[in-house]
């Protein structure tokens, strides 16, 4: 059963515009959320995270928003750059399961066009 869902398998955005990647989760025990970026033939790279006690976390061009009541989070990239083209994975964890193991979505492939 997929507890973390990324319903958009792909997204195309023009350079300089905002990219918004969405993620939904079903397990209310999740209390920490992460975004990873993955290039082909490489492992996922940690991008940004947010604790369930917050509703926003910002790091440079990347901002993650958390809506706990809707069990929804999103990653905003502003402005988008061609180098941002990659697959983005949303992940969630709970301190009560598997010692901080991560539950991943299927990923959204972002293409930023010049």
Partner 1 sequence: SAVISQKPSRDICQRGTSLTIQCQVDSQVTMMFWYRQQPGQSLTLIATANQGSEATYESGFVIDKFPISRPNLTFSTLTVSNMSPEDSSIYLCSVGGLGRIYNEQFFGPGTRLTVL
Residues in touch with partner 1 (CB under 8 A): 2, 4, 32, 34, 36, 41-46, 49, 89, 91, 93, 95, 98-107
Q: In the complex, what is the shortest distance from the CB of residue 1 to partner 1, in angstroms, rounded to a whole number?
A: 10
Residue number with CB closer to partner 1 (74 or 79): 74
Query: Cβ of residue 14: shortest distance to partner 1, in angstroms?
Result: 27
* Cβ-based nearer residue to partner 1, 27 or 79: 27
CB under 8 Å to 37, separation ≥6 — which residues?
A: 44, 45, 47, 84, 86, 87, 88, 89
Counting Cβ atoms within 10 Å, is residue 62 exposed (0-12), middle (13-18) or buried (19+)? Answer: middle
Residue 69 C-beta: closest distance to partner 1, Å: 22
Distance CA 95, CA 71 (A): 17
């Amino acid at each position: 059963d997929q507890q973390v869902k990324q319903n958009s398998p792909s997204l195309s955005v023009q350079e300089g515009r905002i990219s918004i990647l969405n993620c939904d989760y079903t397990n209310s025990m999740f209390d920490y959320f992460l975004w990873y970026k993955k290039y082909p033939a490489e492992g996922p790279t940690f991008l940004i995270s947010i604790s369930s006690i917050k509703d926003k976390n910002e790091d440079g061009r990347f901002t993650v928003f958390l809506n706990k009541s809707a069990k929804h989070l999103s990653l905003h990239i502003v402005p988008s750059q061609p180098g941002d083209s990659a697959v983005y994975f949303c992940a969630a964890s709970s301190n009560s399961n598997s010692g901080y193991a991560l539950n991943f979505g299927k990923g959204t492939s972002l293409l930023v066009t010049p």
